[in-house]
């Protein structure tokens, strides 16, 4: 499966780059375990951040950030087979879960619940 890892990125950081970095590390910490179960992990920021940079974004929350960040995640969900939701308050991740559920995609909260591929 292609599994989108969803969780806090900007939430609770007051846009502090160090705290955002920690949030990204928390998201990325789940990538290898999912890969080792035979899946392709995906994090929306892996796609959105380069696009925002190329569009000319200069800071979090500017117009380029707003037009790319969440739409990228929503488009990626269309290509994903499941969502893995890590802990932590996040409006964006909660929206990802809602979209996934509306499409009938599984949403995992615990690595033990993710099946091994083939």
In tens, the pLDDT along 48-87 reads 999 999 999 999 889 999 999 989 989 999 999 999 999 9
In a domain, 115, yes or no: no
Look at residue 110 in the predicted model and tell me its pLDDT.
98
Computed over its alpha carbons, how large is the radius of gyration of the chain?
14
Please say whether the beta carbons of 6 and 96 come within 8 A: yes
Q: Report the CATH number that the domain containing residue 32 is assigned in CATH.
A: 3.40.50.10400
Confirm whether 56 is domain-assigned.
yes
> Whole-angstrom Cα distance, residue 106 to residue 96?
12
Classify residue 88: in a domain, yes or no. yes
Cβ-contact 34, 114 below 8 angstroms: yes
pTM of the full structure: 0.94
Q: Is residue 24 part of a domain?
A: yes
């Amino acid at each position: 499966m292609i599994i989108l890892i969803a969780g806090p990125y900007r939430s609770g950081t007051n846009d502090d780059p160090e705290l955002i970095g920690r949030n990204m590390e928390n998201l990325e910490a789940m990538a290898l375990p999912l890969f080792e179960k035979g899946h392709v992990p995906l994090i929306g920021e892996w796609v959105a951040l380069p696009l925002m940079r190329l569009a000319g974004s200069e800071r979090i929350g500017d117009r380029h950030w707003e037009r790319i960040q969440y739409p990228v995640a929503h488009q990626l969900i269309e290509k994903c087979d499941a969502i893995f939701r890590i802990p932590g308050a996040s409006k964006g991740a909660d929206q990802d879960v809602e979209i996934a559920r509306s499409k009938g995609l599984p949403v995992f909260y615990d690595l033990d619940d993710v099946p091994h591929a083939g």
